[in-house]
């Protein structure tokens, strides 16, 4: 019986509900030491002296001189050191590592770091250090703007956002077989593998990275695990003992990556009838102290900056700059939530300027199949921007409520948005991901480097393989993501695990079926021994992309969605309370509807936090509220009722028609909520829309 | 210290101010109770102390002497809440799940949605947006 499209039991449910699932902090090894990171307390400066005025017996101490390979976190650029040699570029930058078998002894050790402070830059608008800039040009924006009836301008800002996975970053490094094995909470085992190879100077086969059960990632465990893994590995190699390095909440919030803050400016020309004529967009992102993933975050942000709209003349100038704050990095949505927030609030203001209904204005301009995006990509038959818009307006009773709420303390607003699945442009071709299937006693085993971080990787992959092979779901097993035994399926990011890796698995299954004939793979295994089929990513036909001009097919395909937010304002406290949320999201095909609904509901809740609550307060380059006491994420009482509608317009690019689902849900809530606040007569152009910002807007608006 | 955990008497050699969380995870070797924040905000370490949900990171172990401590391991594996969490997708990454289930245990029979929301207000889930958790508890 086919299982794709059904809610089969999660492969990992039993372990998770009984508390027997093993997260990294639940593991211990004989003779294991604990570790601590000594960090900078200033945002910029030079180290003059490092003193360790304590009895070092029993302690392992590591600094940059103990790095056998290169002192660099291998990623896009290698500008970030694993341990500061001399120049400090942000608060909480790692300088010295300590290990000891007794945690209390670790905390007692006092390390003195004498520094010469230098002037730091915190305002991205003042920074002259450009980490990446790019331009997307379609048509002739200047000429088109010169002849349009109406021009609307605006500037929109978003702040940092902390991923706040409930399990902090952590790893255990174990010296083994003349090399090192790292067990950790992570999304990308092969990123960590590469980083260790470069830092340790070891050949690939002496490094093994194993993903342990991971208590949430959301992008926050994409690149940072490379840092913490290398730190633990250095201590383990020096002490010749297993070393556990698990951050507490404060350290995790202070030192690890966050969502890039952004400032986006729009200048848009429209006809009086509401047709978009020209869009001139400037995107600035604050990358923090090192390059990390800023170029690709910026790239995705810029490509999504003109939204799911057709417009003949578009210019997007985007740049990411350095400041003296901890590096910003991957977070669900990866640049797109920032730029689509700006666009969707701007679209609301344009509709307002024209005196036009906001849904009608979007309907006029939404992409239809055959239209082209800002990069000139012709969207295919699976472009359903109009359908999701119409369905969301109907489901939420948008127009009736807009009238009914007018003049009350309630407001309703919507946002139309899209999200490209997989790596941007030629990224998937360069990655050349691989996946494999091996026959086993039970049936078949999936061999992928894709991480289960809660989204349901193991379950969803097993469903795809079961149906592609025509065997029961229970006969599909999943190997642990262990770099020594699975192929590199690329990172678990970019909403690519279903569409891209699932697609490769589907091809593996088809070939395996051809090889084993009508036999059940378990029967074939018994008769002939193990059979392994490995396949590599193949780019879809007809996809073209030019990295230099940013023209072409930025993604194989896009998912489409429309959110409607209903909010209520407390007239005494200016607190905005979301009361109901409608999310209509077309993700091609829901391989497992419960998992998909979970992604949409969870991503929406994170988006609501982004819109209203989650404010990272930076003081002198450091997060001043690095605690869950005062960095607030939505609780049960902050999360409204939700009406989630899954639309399935299949794409021929993904398995069974599926597209990416993980990230898109976080793109829409912030603009939908801010547009609902706008319906209350409050002009908000910066998130989070805290009571302080609402009060300020109320003073201006009244 | 003598503790009674999941119905078993346990002798624990730890300073009295040790966090109950550490005593459970390390001394009692019951790692099902998770640490998310260490400051009583996330609820991942929720256990029952004489039937009342508490954050084990805020309770000194000495405070649990002569009390009955229940952790996720004490539920076996077939508790209706555990089955419902598994069935309704209420466990995604799973790190908040033991604490959520322990907090839900303290609910009255046949709770309303409001009862559930209030009872779980001290337990943060970053994956689900809570709705799958409500569905699980209301149908358990």
Place of tokens 């084990």: B56
Mean pLDDT computed over A194-202: 98
Q: Which residues of A touch B93 (CB under 8 A)?
A: 165-167, 214-217, 453-454
CB within 8 Å: B121 and A9 = no
Determine the distance in angstroms separating the CA of B139 from the nearest CA of chain A, rounded to an integer.
15
Count of CB atoms situated within 10 Å of the CB of B14:
17
Helix-strand-coil percent breakdown of chain B, rounded to 5? 35, 15, 50
Q: Which residues of A touch B117 (CB under 8 A)?
A: 636-637
Mean pLDDT computed over A432-458: 97
Q: Are the beta carbons of A19 and B31 closer than 8 angstroms?
A: yes
Chain A segment 241-260 residues within 8 A of B by beta carbon are: 248-249
Q: What is the pLDDT of residue A700?
A: 83
DSSP state of A666: G
Q: Which of B100, B107, B94, B106 shows the shortest CA–CA distance to B123?
A: B100
Confidence of residue A702 (pLDDT cuts 50, 70, 90): very low
CB within 8 Å: A17 and B91 = yes
Q: Does A605 touch chain B (CB under 8 A)?
A: yes
Q: Is the pLDDT of residue A576 over 80?
A: yes
Count of CB atoms situated within 10 Å of the CB of A106:
17
Mean pLDDT computed over B92-121: 97
Residue A434 and residue A295: Cα distance in Å, rounded?
25
Determine the distance in angstroms separating the CA of B2 from the nearest CA of chain A, rounded to an integer.
23
Sort B79 into a burial class: Cβ within 10 Å, 0-12 / 13-18 / 19+. Answer: middle
3-class SS at B4? strand
CB within 8 Å: B87 and A23 = no
Determine the distance in angstroms separating the CA of B126 from the nearest CA of chain A, rounded to an integer.
6
Determine the distance in angstroms separating the CA of B6 from the nearest CA of chain A, rounded to an integer.
14
**ipTM above 0.85?**
yes
Mean pLDDT computed over B70-74: 98
* CATH code, B2-74: 3.10.20.30
CB within 8 Å: A19 and B32 = yes
Q: Does A280 touch chain B (CB under 8 A)?
A: no
Please enumerate in sequence order all residues whose Cβ is within 8 A of that of B72, keeping only pairs 6 or more positions apart, or say none. Answer: A18, A19, B32, B33, B98, B101, B102
Nearest residue of chain A to residue B43 (CA atoms): A166
Mean pLDDT computed over A107-119: 97
Percent of chain A with pLDDT over 90: 98
Instruction: Provide the CA A94 distance to its chain's centre, in angstroms.
Output: 24
Q: Which residues of B touch A13 (CB under 8 A)?
A: 85-87, 91
Q: Which of A668, A655, A342 shows the shortest CA–CA distance to A469?
A: A655
> Which of B78, B81, B117, B129 has the highest number of chain A CBs within 10 A, making it the mutation to test binding with A?
B129
Q: Does A218 touch chain B (CB under 8 A)?
A: yes
Q: Is the pLDDT of residue B69 over 50?
A: yes
> Which of B56, B90, B94, B125 has the highest number of chain A CBs within 10 A, making it the mutation to test binding with A?
B94
Mean pLDDT computed over B17-38: 97
Determine the distance in angstroms separating the CA of B1 from the nearest CA of chain A, rounded to an integer.
21
DSSP state of A262: E
* Homologous superfamily assigned to B76-139: [2Fe-2S]-binding domain (1.10.150.120)
Average pLDDT score, chain B? 97
Q: Is the pLDDT of residue A523 over 70?
A: yes
Quote the Cα angle for A568-A610-B34, to 5°: 110
Nearest residue of chain B to residue A11 (CA atoms): B86
Q: Which residues of B touch A165 (CB under 8 A)?
A: 93, 95, 126
pTM of the model: 0.98
Q: Are the beta carbons of A470 and A662 closer than 8 angstroms?
A: no
Q: Which residues of B touch A22 (CB under 8 A)?
A: 31
Q: Which of A602, A686, A577, A585 shows the shortest CA–CA distance to A644?
A: A585
Q: Which residues of B touch A636 (CB under 8 A)?
A: 116-118, 120-121, 123, 130
> Which of A187, A631, A636 has the highest number of chain B CBs within 10 A, making it the mutation to test binding with B?
A636
Kind of pairing between the strands at A410-420 and A444-447:
unpaired
Q: Does A216 touch chain B (CB under 8 A)?
A: yes
- Pick from A17, A214, A248: which is nearest to B97 by CB? A17
> Which of A9, A11, A18, A602 has the highest number of chain B CBs within 10 A, making it the mutation to test binding with B?
A18
Q: What is the pLDDT of residue A600?
A: 98
Determine the distance in angstroms separating the CA of B104 from the nearest CA of chain A, rounded to an integer.
13
Q: Is the pLDDT of residue A701 over 80?
A: no
- Pick from B33, B82, B116: which is nearest to A18 by CB? B82
List pLDDT tens digits, range A93-104: 999 999 999 999
Chain A segment 128-167 residues within 8 A of B by beta carbon are: 163-167
Average pLDDT score, chain A? 97
Determine the distance in angstroms separating the CA of A561 from the nearest CA of chain B, rounded to an integer.
18
Q: Does A460 touch chain B (CB under 8 A)?
A: no
Percent of chain B with pLDDT over 70: 100
CB within 8 Å: A10 and B89 = yes
Q: Are the beta carbons of A260 and A333 closer than 8 angstroms?
A: no
Q: Which of A392, A389, A370, A391 shows the shortest CA–CA distance to A379?
A: A370
Percent of chain A with pLDDT over 70: 100
Place of tokens 């698995």: A505
Please enumerate in sequence order all residues whose Cβ is within 8 A of that of A317, keeping only pairs 6 or more positions apart, or say none. Answer: A133, A134, A135, A281, A282, A283
Domain ranges for chain B, please list them: 2-74, 76-139
Nearest residue of chain B to residue A218 (CA atoms): B127
- The full set of domains in chain A, from first to last, is 13-21+433-536 (3.30.365.10), 31-118+164-255 (3.30.365.10), 262-424+551-701 (3.30.365.10)
- Pick from A14, A215, A636: which is nearest to B130 by CB? A636
Q: Which residues of A touch B33 (CB under 8 A)?
A: 19
**Cα–Cα distances in Å, from A114 out to A39, A44, A277, A326, A504?**
12, 13, 58, 20, 53
């Amino acid at each position: 019986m086919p299982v794709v499209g059904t809610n089969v039991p999660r492969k990992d449910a039993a372990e998770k509900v009984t508390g027997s699932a093993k997260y990294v902090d639940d593991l211990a090894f004989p003779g294991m030491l604990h570790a601590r990171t000594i960090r900078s307390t200033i945002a910029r400066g030079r180290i003059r002296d490092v003193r360790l005025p304590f009895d070092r017996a029993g302690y392992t101490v590591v600094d940059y001189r103990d790095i056998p390979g290169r002192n660099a976190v291998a990623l896009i650029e290698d500008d970030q050191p694993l341990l500061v040699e001399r120049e400090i570029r942000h608060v909480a930058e790692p300088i010295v590592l300590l290990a000891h078998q007794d945690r209390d002894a670790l905390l007692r050790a006092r390390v003195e770091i004498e520094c010469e402070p230098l002037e730091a830059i915190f305002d991205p608008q003042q920074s002259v250090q450009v980490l990446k800039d790019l331009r997307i040009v379609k048509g002739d924006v200047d000429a088109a703007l010169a002849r349009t009836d109406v021009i609307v301008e605006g500037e929109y800002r978003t702040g940092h956002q902390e991923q706040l996975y409930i399990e902090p970053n952590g790893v255990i490094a174990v010296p083994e077989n003349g090399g090192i094995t790292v067990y950790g909470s992570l999304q990308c085992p092969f990123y960590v593998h590469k980083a260790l190879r470069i830092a340790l100077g070891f050949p690939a086969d002496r490094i093994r990275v194993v993903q342990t059960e991971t208590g949430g990632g959301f992008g926050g465990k994409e690149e940072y695990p490379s840092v913490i893994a290398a730190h633990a590995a250095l201590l383990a190699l020096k002490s010749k003992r297993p070393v556990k390095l698990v951050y507490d909440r404060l350290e995790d919030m202070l030192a690890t990556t966050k969502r890039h803050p952004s400032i986006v400016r729009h200048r848009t020309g429209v006809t009086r009838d509401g047709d978009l004529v020209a869009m001139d967009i400037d995107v600035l992102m604050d990358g923090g102290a090192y390059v990390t993933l800023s170029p690709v975050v910026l790239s995705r942000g810029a490509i999504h900056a003109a939204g799911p709209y057709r417009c003949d003349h578009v210019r997007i100038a985007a740049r990411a700059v350095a400041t003296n704050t901890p590096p910003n990095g991957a977070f669900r949505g990866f640049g797109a939530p920032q730029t689509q927030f700006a666009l969707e609030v701007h679209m609301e203001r344009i509709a307002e300027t024209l005196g036009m209904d906001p849904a009608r204005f979007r309907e006029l301009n939404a992409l239809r199949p055959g239209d082209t995006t800002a990069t000139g990509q012709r969207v295919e038959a699976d472009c359903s921007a109009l359908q999701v818009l119409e369905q969301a307006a109907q489901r939420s009773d948008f127009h009736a409520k807009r009238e009914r709420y007018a003049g009350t303390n309630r407001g309703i607003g919507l946002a139309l948005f899209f999200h490209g699945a997989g790596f941007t442009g030629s990224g998937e071709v360069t990655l050349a991901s691989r996946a494999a299937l091996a026959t086993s006693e039970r049936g078949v085993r999936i061999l992928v480097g894709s991480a289960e971080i809660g989204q349901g990787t193991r379950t969803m992959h097993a469903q795809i393989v079961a149906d592609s092979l025509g065997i029961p779901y229970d006969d599909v097993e999943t190997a642990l993501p262990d770099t020594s035994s699975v192929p590199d399926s690329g990172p678990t990011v970019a909403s690519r695990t279903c569409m891209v890796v699932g697609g490769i698995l589907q091809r593996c299954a088809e070939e395996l079926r051809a090889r084993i004939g009508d036999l059940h793979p378990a029967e074939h295994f018994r008769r002939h021994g193990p059979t392994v089929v490995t396949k590599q990513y193949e780019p879809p036909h007809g996809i073209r992309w030019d990295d230099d001009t940013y023209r072409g097919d930025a993604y194989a395909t896009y998912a489409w969605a429309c959110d409607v937010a209903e909010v209520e304002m407390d007239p005494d406290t200016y607190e905005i309370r979301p009361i109901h949320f409608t999310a209509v999201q077309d993700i091609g095909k829901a391989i497992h509807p419960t998992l998909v609904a979970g992604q949409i509901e969870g991503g929406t809740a994170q988006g609501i936090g982004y819109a209203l609550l989650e404010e990272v307060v930076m003081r002198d380059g450091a997060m001043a509220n690095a605690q869950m006491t005062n960095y607030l994420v939505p609780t049960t009482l902050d999360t409204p009722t939700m009406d989630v509608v899954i639309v399935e317009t299949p794409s021929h690019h993904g398995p069974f028609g599926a597209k990416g689902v993980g990230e898109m849900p976080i793109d829409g809530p912030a603009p939908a909520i801010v547009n609902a606040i706008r319906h209350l007569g409050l002009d908000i152009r910066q998130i989070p829309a805290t009571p302080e910002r609402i009060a300020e807007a109320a003073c201006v608006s009244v | 210290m003598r503790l009674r955990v999941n119905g078993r008497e346990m002798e624990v050699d730890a300073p009295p101010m040790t966090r109950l969380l550490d005593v459970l995870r390390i001394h009692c070797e019951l790692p099902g109770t998770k640490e998310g924040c260490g400051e009583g905000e996330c609820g991942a370490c929720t256990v029952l102390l004489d039937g009342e949900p508490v954050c084990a990171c805020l309770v000194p172990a000495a405070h649990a002497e002569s009390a009955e401590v229940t952790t996720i391991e004490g539920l076996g594996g077939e508790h209706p809440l555990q089955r419902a969490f598994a069935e309704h997708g209420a466990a995604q990454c799973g790190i908040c799940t033991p604490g959520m289930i322990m907090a839900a245990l303290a609910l009255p029979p046949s709770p309303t949605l409001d009862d559930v929301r209030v009872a779980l207000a001290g337990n943060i889930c970053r994956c689900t947006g809570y709705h799958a958790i409500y569905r699980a508890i209301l149908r358990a």
